[in-house]
Amino acid sequence: MIHTEHLVKDFGTFRAVDDINLDIAKGEIFGFLGANGAGKTTAIRMIIGLVLPTSGQIIVDGLDISKGSEKVKHKIGYMSQKFSLYPDLKAIENLEFYAGIYQIPFRQAMKNIQPIIEQFGLQDILKSRTEDLPMGYKQRLSLVASLVHDPPLVFLDEPTSGVDPQARREFWQVINDLAYAGKSVIVSTHFMDEAEYCHRVIIMQDGREVALGNPAELKAEHSSATMQELFLKVLGEDHAKPE
């Protein structure tokens, strides 16, 4: 579903992403891990077409993003780290707005997301103003909004930041269900225990890959009992301060 080849991004003299090569499969949960400034978000923003690479190639579901970024965007659901819904609109009005952006009839959009609305228990808050919702419900609503067009690729940037443990469990149940249904889910997280739920992870430092693989295999390779221990070993404690 996603192939990147020698992906590089420079901002002036600063190299934010340096020679990243990835192949992410259909139905895979893939995690981006790294300390603040490691290049995770820049890499993700290039893959979804928000930032142009300095060099390298990105293929998303068979499309070269440099030649068809608009077509690629319709294949992607993106939940940003910062809350991106309109606070003065009702929850259901935000969902209708997102359906309009993707040119999906609202009836079809609601059909696409109804199972997740029920799984998250959002039925009773759809007519509430978004700004009045607790953070956990805002995060749930953001994820639902990213899925109105039933995209095959879902990008979640720090989806569980600021939510309680119960909400984190609910998020990961939904993420697993999405992957089971064949969607590729790319997650950026600073919770090391959440990295355990990914099929594979990339750990980045200074824009480069320092580890890539299945969490269990990486822990065995580096004689680490937990992902936190692995993180400290491959980055060094001076650099291993997650966002």
- Return the pLDDT at 237: 61
Q: What is the dihedral of CA 74, 16, 208, 62, to 10 degrees?
A: 20
Residue type at position 229: E
d(CA 173, CA 185): 12
Cα torsion angle, 73, 76, 81, 84, sign? positive
d(CA 158, CA 44): 12
Instruction: Enter the tokens of residue 235.
Output: 């980055």
The SS3 assignment for 233 reads helix
Instruction: Enter the tokens of residue 21.
Output: 């090569």
Residue type at position 135: M
Q: Which residues touch 53 (CB under 8 Å, ≥6 apart)?
A: 7, 8, 9, 17, 46, 66
Instruction: Enter the tokens of residue 115.
Output: 């199972």
For the chain, list the domains and their CATH numbers. Answer: 28-38+70-235 (3.40.50.300)
- Return the pLDDT at 68: 74
- Return the pLDDT at 179: 96
Radius of gyration of the chain (CA): 18
Instruction: Looking at 35-191, list the stretches that DSSP marks H as alpha helix, in order from N- to C-terminal side.
Output: 40-47, 69-73, 91-101, 106-120, 135-145, 165-180
Q: Residues in the chain with pLDDT < 50?
A: 242-243
Q: Centre a 10 Å sphere on the Cβ of residue 27 and count the other Cβ atoms it contains.
A: 15
